[in-house]
C-alpha cells in the first residue's frame, strides 16, 4: 500500500488551504496539527468582511514597490499563520505544543506569534526572504524543517 507520510499528507492539505487565498502576490496556506489531528487552518487575505485587493484595484504592496520580505505591516492581508492562530483563539483551541505546516517559511512577525502560541515545530515548503525570522525561531529552539517530499 502506497500511503503518504504524515508530513506529505498535511502539506498537501496546506496547499489546498492556500487555494482559498485571495492575495494577488502569494497564496499561502497553514495547517496546525497536534497528535496527527488538524486543529486549525488559515490562508492569507484581508480581515473578515473587508474587500480583497482585486476589488480595490490591485495590491497595495505592488503599488508602493515594496519588495517581498520587507515592510509586512503595509499589507491588507492577515498572514496564513496569523489566521490559523486567530482561529484557534476564536474557537478556544489550544495549539500549545503543535506543529504548523505552511506553504512558505514564516515572516518575522508570524515567527514571533508562533513562538508565543507554543508551536514546537514548523514544516514549510518554500523559503521566504526573512533572515530575522530564521534567527528568532532558532533562538526559541523551534524545530524548523523544509519539506522535501513530493
Q: Which residues are catalytically annotated?
A: 81
- What are the E-state strand segments in the chain? 29-34, 37-43, 99-104, 121-126, 143-146
Q: How far is CA 24 from the centre of its chain?
A: 16
CA atoms of 12 and 4, how far apart (whole Å): 10
CA atoms of 119 and 96, how far apart (whole Å): 6
How do strand 29-34 and strand 99-104 relate by DSSP bridges? Answer: antiparallel
In this structure, what DSSP letter does residue 88 have?
A: H
CA atoms of 38 and 76, how far apart (whole Å): 27
- What are the E-state strand segments in 9-132? 29-34, 37-43, 99-104, 121-126
Amino acid at each position: 500500500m502506497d500511503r503518504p507520510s504524515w508530513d506529505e499528507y498535511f502539506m498537501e492539505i496546506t496547499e489546498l488551504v492556500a487555494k482559498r487565498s485571495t492575495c494577488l502576490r502569494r497564496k499561502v496556506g497553514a495547517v496546525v496539527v497536534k497528535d496527527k489531528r488538524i486543529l486549525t487552518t488559515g490562508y492569507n487575505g484581508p480581515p473578515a468582511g473587508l474587500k480583497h485587493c482585486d476589488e480595490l484595484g490591485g495590491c497595495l504592496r505592488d503599488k508602493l514597490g515594496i519588495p517581498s520580505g520587507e515592510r509586512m505591516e503595509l499589507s491588507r492581508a492577515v498572514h496564513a499563520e496569523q489566521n490559523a492562530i486567530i482561529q484557534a483563539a476564536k474557537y478556544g483551541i489550544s495549539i500549545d505544543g503543535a506543529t504548523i505546516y505552511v506553504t512558505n517559511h514564516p515572516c518575522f512577525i508570524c515567527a514571533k506569534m508562533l513562538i508565543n502560541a507554543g508551536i514546537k515545530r514548523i514544516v514549510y515548503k518554500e523559503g521566504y526572504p526573512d533572515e530575522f525570522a530564521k534567527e528568532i525561531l532558532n533562538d526559541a529552539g523551534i524545530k524548523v524543517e523544509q519539506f522535501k517530499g513530493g
